[in-house]
């Protein structure tokens, strides 16, 4: 007999608090028959302890007595399938999930974990089909959020399929405190007088139109407007930008491995108050694939041609106009349930500017982790090291004539609470320690803020 939502609610809470994946109720009467295991018995079993400790061979052995006592219990069968999947026996797990779905085709957790098993076998389209169903039909926000994250991980998070809604509205509204708005040098002898901290209100408004969508490709037309407003007499640094772009994703099979190619072209115009700050043409190219079942590797390149308006008093040294290029390789390592991951990113950064002071070569290394926390909240923590040298730099001040060479550290911490499937509350803190052999460019900066993110399709 399939258990009802009422009986399953206590089991969900107990399993979540015990760090087990949520096991939602299965659908009909709420009473517990003799052929069904209770939440208390499952949580007190040796299986639960082994499963929580990621000891899946022991968990599978400990599950046998429960399976003999409750041979048709859907919860036990589902956890057997999950255990088999995490042992690499995904085909066996899929057979159990399909058997369960024949009895209850609308069961959300079964479909979600079936998607994980398909993903582990490299069958991305089948995995995406299950997760898209969960995203559309789950009454529980956690599963909708996990399904959306899973779709994004396999490069299908924006794939709505033929006949789906083509328009999307995306907004990011926030306020943050900036300890060093004008990048005041740490050396007091070189710093300007007065406080450099201020509050900043920001609003990003984006529109997306899906022009083409099918199994192997999608094309989006994008528009984004950004506005930031400072207090404490920093009006000169209020920034506005308008961005128009076209984004393409295409899936192909190369050498028996699925590869997702991406390409984007953007035109960007930026203004400080009413004065033109920059005008840029930007191209982004990427290719991502999975080298193993629980990894994802992304090769990307961002190529920008920019004009920054006034070139300064000595254009041959002070002009920032030029070509900027960032080539990156990012590798993700996922947990067995794919809800947590570590990443490492290595970039090569270069600029060929008209002015020698902005001609640079360098690299950026970044590592981080993502993990779900309690109560529909995710946590992200990352740190980075950036190194740049400026081969044609000439100091414009006799107070600090050293040749510029950057070595900067930063730390970023983010908490995201999912209020609704399309509404997130984000709190973040960013610390930057810009070190430099030239003291004019050496500074500390702290940014802390809160943002509200909203998405609506129509």
What is the three-class DSSP state of 198?
strand
The band of 313, judged by pLDDT with boundaries at 50, 70 and 90, is: confident
Cβ atoms of 223 and 171 closer than 8 Å: no
- CA-wise closest residue to 322 among 336, 311, 335: 311
- Are 404 and 379 spatial neighbours (Cβ–Cβ below 8 Å)? no
Buried b (16+ CB within 10 A) or exposed e, 189-201: ebbeeeebebebe
| β-strand partners of 326 | 302, 349
Domains of the chain: 5-153 (1.25.40.10), 167-457 (2.40.160.40)
pLDDT of 388 higher than 60: yes
- How far lies 210's CA from each of 184, 222, 246, 248, in Å? 44, 9, 10, 10
Burial class (CB in 10 A: 0-12, 13-18, 19+), 300: middle
Residue 404 predicted with pLDDT over 80: no
Q: How many CB atoms lie within 10 A of CB 215?
A: 11
Q: Is the pLDDT of residue 350 over 80?
A: yes
Percent of the chain with pLDDT over 90: 44
Is residue 153 over pLDDT 90?
no
Cα-atom radius of gyration of the chain, to the nearest Å? 26
Taking only the tens place, the pLDDT of each residue in 245-276 is 999 999 888 877 889 899 999 999 999 877 88
As a dihedral over the C-alpha atoms of residue 176, residue 179, residue 182, residue 185, rounded to 10 degrees, the angle is: -160
CA distance 130 to 114: 7
Cα four-point dihedral sign 260, 261, 266, 272:
positive
Percent of the chain predicted with pLDDT > 70: 85
For residue 8, pLDDT beyond 50: no
Query: pLDDT, tens digit, for every residue of 85-101?
Result: 988 899 999 999 999 99
| Cα–Cα distance measured from residue 10 to residue 194, given in angstroms and rounded to the nearest whole number | 57
User: CB–CB of 203/173 below 8 Å?
Assistant: yes
User: How does pLDDT run across 423-451, given as a tens digit for each residue?
Assistant: 999 999 999 998 877 667 788 999 999 99
Q: What residues contact residue 36 under an 8 Å CB cut-off, 6+ apart?
A: 1, 3, 70, 73, 75
What is the pLDDT at residue 3? Answer: 35
For residues 187 and 209, what is the distance between their CA atoms, to the nearest angstrom? 49
- pLDDT of 136 > 60? The answer is yes
Predicted pLDDT of residue 41: 83
């Amino acid at each position: 007999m399939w258990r009802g939502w009422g009986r399953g609610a206590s089991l969900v809470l107990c399993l979540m608090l015990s760090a087990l994946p949520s096991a939602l109720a299965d659908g009909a009467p709420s009473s517990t028959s003799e052929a069904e295991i209770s939440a208390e018995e499952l949580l007190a079993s040796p299986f639960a302890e082994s499963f929580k400790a990621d000891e899946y061979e022991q968990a599978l052995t400990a599950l046998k007595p429960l399976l003999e006592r409750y041979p048709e219990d859907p919860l036990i069968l589902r956890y057997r399938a999950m255990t088999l999947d995490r042992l690499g026996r995904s085909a066996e797990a899929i057979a159990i999930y399909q058997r369960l779905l024949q009895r209850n085709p609308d069961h959300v957790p079964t479909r979600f974990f079936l998607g994980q098993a398909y993903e582990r076998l490299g069958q991305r389209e089948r995995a995406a089909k299950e997760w898209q169903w969960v995203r559309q039909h789950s009454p529980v926000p956690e599963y909708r959020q996990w399904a959306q994250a899973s779709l994004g991980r396999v490069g299908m998070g924006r794939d709505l399929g033929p006949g789906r809604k083509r328009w999307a509205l995306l907004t990011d509204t926030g306020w943050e405190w900036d300890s060093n708005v004008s990048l005041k040098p740490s050396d007091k002898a070189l710093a300007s007088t007065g406080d450099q901290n201020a509050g900043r209100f920001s609003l990003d408004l984006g529109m997306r139109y899906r022009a083409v969508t099918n199994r192997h490709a999608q094309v989006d037309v994008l528009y984004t407007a950004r506005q930031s407003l400072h207090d404490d007499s920093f009006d000169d640094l209020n920034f506005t930008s308008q961005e128009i772009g076209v984004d393409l994703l295409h899936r192909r099979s190369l050498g028996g491995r699925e590869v997702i190619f991406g390409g984007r072209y953007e035109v960007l115009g930026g203004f400080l108050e009413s004065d033109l700050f920059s005008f840029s043409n930007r191209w982004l190219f990427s290719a991502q694939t999975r080298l193993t079942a629980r990894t994802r590797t992304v090769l990307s390149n961002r190529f920008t041609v920019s004009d920054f308006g006034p070139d300064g008093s000595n254009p041959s040294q002070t002009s920032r106009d030029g070509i900027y290029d960032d080539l990156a390789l990012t590798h993700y390592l996922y947990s067995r349930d794919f809800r947590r991951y570590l990443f490492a990113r290595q970039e090569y950064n270069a600029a060929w500017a008209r002015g020698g002071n902005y001609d640079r070569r360098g690299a950026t290394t970044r590592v981080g982790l993502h993990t779900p926390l309690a109560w529909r909240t995710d946590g992200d923590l990352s740190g980075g090291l950036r190194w740049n040298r400026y081969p044609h730099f000439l100091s414009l001040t006799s107070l600090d004539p050293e040749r510029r060479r950057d070595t900067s550290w930063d730390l970023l911490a983010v908490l995201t609470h999912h209020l609704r499937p399309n509404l997130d509350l984000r709190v973040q803190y960013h610390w930057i320690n810009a070190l430099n052999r030239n003291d004019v460019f050496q500074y500390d900066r702290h940014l802390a803020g809160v943002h509200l993110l909203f998405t609506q399709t129509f």
